Amino acid sequence: MGRTAETALGASAQQIHRELRKFSRAAKLLSSKRARLINTHPREWVGLFNGKLCATDKSFNGLVRKLKAKGYSPKDTIIRYIDTSERKLIL
């Protein structure tokens, strides 16, 4: 038997759509708030969940520890380093 798209992706089309919308909201927040984030969290790692800033830290590992301590899964969180240059790092 062939595998369905849902089986191959591990989620239903509705779940995938919902996750993509969450990611899109968070990505837009990062873009629209870039100047503010540079001012408030320069050279820090930030974690966003459901479009909201939920943790920051100077190190990636520190941010992951804070996310887990607050009950957020790093794999479900958008993590970005706030660099003051134009270079972009999105994980």
Check if the beta carbon of residue 72 is closer than 8 Å to that of residue 78: no
Residue 54 has pLDDT above 90, yes or no: yes
Residue 22 has pLDDT above 80, yes or no: no
- Number of domains making up the chain: 1
Check if the beta carbon of residue 21 is closer than 8 Å to that of residue 29: no
Cα–Cα dist 64/36, whole Å: 22
In a domain, 86, yes or no: no
pTM here is 0.68
Residue bearing the bigger pLDDT, 51 or 64: 64
In a domain, 89, yes or no: no
In a domain, 90, yes or no: no
What is the Cα gyration radius of the chain? 15
For residue 87, the model assigns a pLDDT of: 60
Section 52-58 average pLDDT: 94
Instruction: Write out the residue range of the structural domain in which residue 62 sits.
Output: 8-81
In a domain, 2, yes or no: no
Cα–Cα dist 63/79, whole Å: 9
For residue 88, the model assigns a pLDDT of: 60
